[in-house]
């Protein structure tokens, strides 16, 4: 594990320890006890929808970049990547693995990684846009800071656009080639005329699905606040969960929930109980990814058991000859 990854893991765990020291273990236990078969079933169904939409977004971007990716393969790989993201430090290992495996399957690891990178970027940009709208429209602990955040984002976008224009006019160089490559990917991938609306729609469904699971967890944990009160808090918690700290968002998620719910007058313990249940539901809902991993390991083991065959010899004939040789020995 690299120093940076280890540091992020330590920071996330430190936040979690601080939350436990501050409010005690009772809210975590309450969140676990709040799980019911109905709550779990609802989370599994909603996560199946969000996973399919995210996988569809991935296929759209991949096809735009010229990388073949059937939807059933994408759905299975997305379940696997979500599970890996939740059980391994950093929160992005599953996405990197997804890009590498897909790239190897199609003969272009670079293309596979680029497709995943742009697909994830598109989803995060839509999530950020939804967050800004919700946090600006509904009362929340950070509502007063939204105008400043918009100003910073607008300035960053203007700078990025200026850099792209200047780089396009520069003579061939490393920076110019990089900017042109990024621009070409954007035009062919998430911003392509034929797919950008579909990419945005899929991303909206994913954000809505995750938010709905959070609201279900809030109801199951006994929160009596209205949806308009809980919605901005759910958005804040999801933003914290996406931080590459700890494991599966544990730590930043509970810290953000404790602060946000306390600031909203709902109590830090309530926020932690809800996010505990939310985290467990998220892990349980992507558990089909384990079956994908097991199936892949079984196929890999089976391929290793098949004896190598001479060049130009059909595999079936090579296997038959090896069996004959074994029977004769």
For 35, phi and psi rounded to 5 degrees?
-70, 135
Q: Among residues 195, 232, 199, which one has the least CA distance to residue 215?
A: 232
User: What is the rounded distance in angstroms from the CA atom of residue 105 to the CA atom of residue 74?
Assistant: 12
Q: What residue has token string 């009596």?
A: 224
Q: What is the mean pLDDT of the chain?
A: 84
**Interatomic CA distance for residues 115 and 117, integer angstroms:** 6
| Tokens read off for 107 | 């003969």
Question: Is pLDDT above 80 for 272?
Answer: yes
pLDDT band at 146 (very low <50, low <70, confident <90, very high): confident
∠ CA 64-198-160, nearest 5°, is 65
- Using 50, 70 and 90 to split pLDDT, how confident is the model at 150? confident
Return all residues near 229 (Cβ < 8 A) that are at least 6 apart.
Answer: 138, 139, 264, 266
Identify the weakest region by mean pLDDT among 23-37, 170-184, 241-255.
170-184
Measure the N-to-C terminal CA separation of the chain; round to a whole number of Å.
48
Q: Which long-range contacts (CB under 8 A, 24 or more apart) does 107-113 make?
A: 108/67, 111/62, 111/65, 111/66, 111/67, 112/62, 112/67
Q: Tokens standing for 236?
A: 């804040």
Q: Could you tell me the pLDDT band of residue 319, with boundaries at 50, 70 and 90?
A: very low
* Range name among 93-102, 182-191, 202-211 with the lowest pLDDT average: 182-191
For residue 3, pLDDT beyond 80: no
Least confident of 43-57, 208-222, 313-327: 313-327
pLDDT digits (tens, 9 = 90+) for 101-114: 999 999 989 999 99
- pLDDT winner (highest mean) among 4-18, 80-94, 246-260: 80-94
Q: What pLDDT sits at residue 221? A: 92
Contact 15, 255 (CB under 8 A): yes
What is the structure's pLDDT at 326? 45
Is residue 9 over pLDDT 90?
Answer: no
Please say whether the beta carbons of 106 and 67 come within 8 A: yes
Length reported for the chain: 329
* 46-59: b (≥16 Cβ within 10 Å) or e: bbbebbbbbbbbbb
pLDDT at 191: 85
- Per-residue confidence at 325, pLDDT binned at 50, 70, 90? very low
Lowest mean pLDDT among 24-33, 56-65, 136-145: 136-145
Cα distance between residue 257 and residue 232, in whole Å: 11
How far apart (Å, rounded) are the C-alpha atoms in residues 11 and 25?
A: 19
Res 42: pLDDT: 96
Average pLDDT over residues 287-314: 73
**pLDDT exceeds cutoff 60 at 213:** yes
- At 103 the three-state DSSP class reads helix
């Amino acid at each position: 594990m690299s120093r940076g990854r280890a540091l992020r893991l330590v920071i996330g765990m430190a936040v979690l320890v601080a939350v436990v020291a501050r409010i005690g273990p009772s809210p975590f236990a309450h969140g676990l006890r709040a799980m019911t078969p109905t709550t779990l079933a609802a989370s599994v169904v909603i996560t199946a929808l969000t996973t399919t939409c995210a996988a569809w977004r991935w296929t759209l971007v991949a096809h735009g970049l010229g990388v073949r990716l059937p939807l059933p393969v994408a759905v299975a790989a997305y379940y696997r990547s979500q599970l890996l993201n939740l059980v391994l430090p950093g929160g992005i290992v599953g996405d990197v693995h997804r890009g590498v495996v897909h790239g190897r399957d199609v003969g272009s690891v670079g293309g596979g990684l680029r497709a995943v990178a742009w697909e994830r970027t598109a989803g995060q940009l839509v999530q950020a846009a939804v967050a800004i709208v919700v946090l600006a429209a509904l009362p929340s602990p950070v509502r007063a800071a939204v105008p400043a955040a918009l100003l910073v984002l607008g300035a960053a976008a203007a700078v990025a656009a200026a850099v792209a224009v200047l780089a396009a006019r520069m003579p061939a160089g490393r920076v110019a080639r990089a900017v042109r490559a990024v621009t070409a990917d954007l035009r062919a991938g998430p911003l392509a005329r034929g797919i950008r609306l579909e990419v945005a729609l899929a991303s909206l469904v994913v954000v809505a699905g995750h938010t709905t699971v959070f609201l279900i967890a809030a109801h199951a944990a006994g929160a009596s606040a209205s949806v308009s009160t809980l919605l901005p808090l759910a958005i804040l918690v999801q933003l914290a969960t996406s931080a590459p700290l700890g494991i599966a968002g544990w730590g930043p998620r509970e810290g953000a929930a404790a602060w946000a719910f306390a600031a909203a007058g709902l109590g830090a313990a309530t926020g932690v109980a809800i996010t505990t249940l939310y985290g467990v539901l998220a892990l349980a809902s992507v558990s089909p990814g384990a079956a994908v991993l097991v199936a892949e390991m079984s196929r890999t083991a089976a391929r290793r058991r098949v004896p190598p065959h001479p060049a130009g010899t059909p595999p079936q004939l090579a296997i038959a000859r090896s069996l004959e040789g074994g029977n004769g020995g």
